[in-house]
Amino acid sequence: LPVSPLLSVRNLAVAYGRIRALHGIDLDVEPGRIVSLVGSNGAGKSTTLMAVSGILPLAVGSITFAGEDITKLAPEARVGRGIAHVPERRRVFGGMSVRENLVLGAYSRADATDMEADIAELTQLFPILGKRMSQAAGTLSGGEQQMLAIARGLMSRPSLLIMDEPTMGLAPQMIDLILDTVQAIRARGTTILLVEQNAVEAMRLSDHVYVMRLGRIVHQDSGSNIDPDRVKAFYMGVE
Ligand code: ATP
């Protein structure tokens, strides 16, 4: 039986002033899946994610989430519906402690009584953060800051976690750790929409992959079927 998607994007167009960055994107994310967007710089991956979380307004198109039209909802309202966005470049509040950053991630929740339990659970997923709770976030390593940014996103108890290049600028060992964590998050029941510069890793990890180029989706396939050589050809526009 076909599963109805958690997220559906239809005919999405976004413009920066007079410049169109996206030209009619259609994509679906089914519940419990890891779905990746890959493509070269400027393909429109980050723009797509920001339109889904409401940071950027749509010029055209619609977004349905958990069966409801969220096209016109403000970003905070989308967080309340279960969409969390971990932005590019791991923006944590450097002067605040790890714990304070996590507490901020729960701002959308009316009832904060389970907050300590959630923080304790997240330290199982991110043991390093457990040891650094009262340390200023700005003093963490790049990989640790990325973990904190992800953990902060999870504090809103999202059903969809959007991650924009979580491995950017990290050492190989840390990249492996972050990608393992992405799978662990999915195993806890959270659906994931991921932008990953490291396309080969993204393909290995994902149930479904969309390839973007110049503001369009030019190819898609299941993670197991997708052919890295064809993806490369689509990246470069030779197919
Ligand atoms: P990258 O990996 O480099 O972030 P991307 O695939 O995420 O690439 P976007 O950042 O979404 O691509 O950019 C899509 C297009 O929109 C590009 O042509 C880019 O130059 C343009 N763009 C992005 N941000 C802005 C902005 N703030 N003002 C004007 N144009 C922008």
- pLDDT tens digits along 216-235: 999 998 888 888 888 888 77
* Positive or negative torsion for Cα 95, 100, 102, 105: negative
The confidence score (pLDDT) of residue 75 equals 94
Calpha distance 6→34 (Å, rounded): 12
Task: Compute the chain's Rg from CA coordinates.
Answer: 17
Q: Which residues contact 153 (CB under 8 A, 6 or more apart)?
A: 84, 85, 86, 105, 161, 163
Q: Please indicate whether residue 47, judged by its CB atom, sits closer than 6 Å to ligand 1.
A: yes
Structure tokens at 166: 């979580």
pLDDT in tens, 132-175: 999 999 999 999 999 999 999 999 999 999 999 999 989 999 99
The confidence score (pLDDT) of residue 110 equals 62
Q: Answer whether residue 3 shows pLDDT above 70.
A: yes
Q: What percent of the chain has pLDDT above 70?
A: 96
Structure tokens at 111: 């009832």
What is the complex's ipTM, to 2 decimals? 0.91
Q: What percent of the chain has pLDDT above 90?
A: 72
Ligand 1 center from residue 185 Cα (angstroms): 28
93: three-class secondary structure by DSSP: coil
Ligand 1 center from residue 47 Cα (angstroms): 6
Q: Please indicate whether residue 21, judged by its CB atom, sits closer than 6 Å to ligand 1.
A: yes
**Which residue minimizes the CA distance to atom 28 of ligand 1?**
16
Q: Mean pLDDT over residues 97-114, rounded?
A: 82
pTM above 0.95, yes or no: no
Q: Please indicate whether residue 39, judged by its CB atom, sits closer than 6 Å to ligand 1.
A: yes
CB contact at 8 A, 163 and 86: yes
**Which residue minimizes the CA distance to atom 29 of ligand 1?**
16
